[in-house]
Amino acid sequence: MNGFKITDEKKEYSVTRTLRIKKELLNRLEEVAYKHDISTNKLIIKCIEYVLDNLEEDTEK
């Protein structure tokens, strides 16, 4: 994925949600977060924002 940058941004109002995630995926996220000295939560938010901002719409539907 080109263009994905992990940066520290201002805190915004947030809500709490519970989700289920595969342990292997969580382990990978935790490793990346540790290497970049950010929280796993912040990394997950960045990943979601990146995907949503770069999502290609299916024009056939």
User: How far is CA 8 from each of CA 12, 23, 43, 58, rounded to the nearest angstrom?
Assistant: 12, 25, 10, 32
The predicted structure's pLDDT at residue 61: 58
Helices assigned H by DSSP within the chain? 23-35, 40-53
In this structure, what token pair is assigned to residue 51? 């995907």
Quote the CA–CA distance of 27 and 24 in Å, as a whole number.
5
Task: Find where tokens 């979601």 sit.
Answer: 48
Query: pLDDT by residue for the chain (61 residues), tens digit each?
Result: 567 777 666 666 788 999 999 999 999 999 999 999 999 999 999 999 999 999 987 666 5
Could you tell me the pTM of the whole model? 0.71
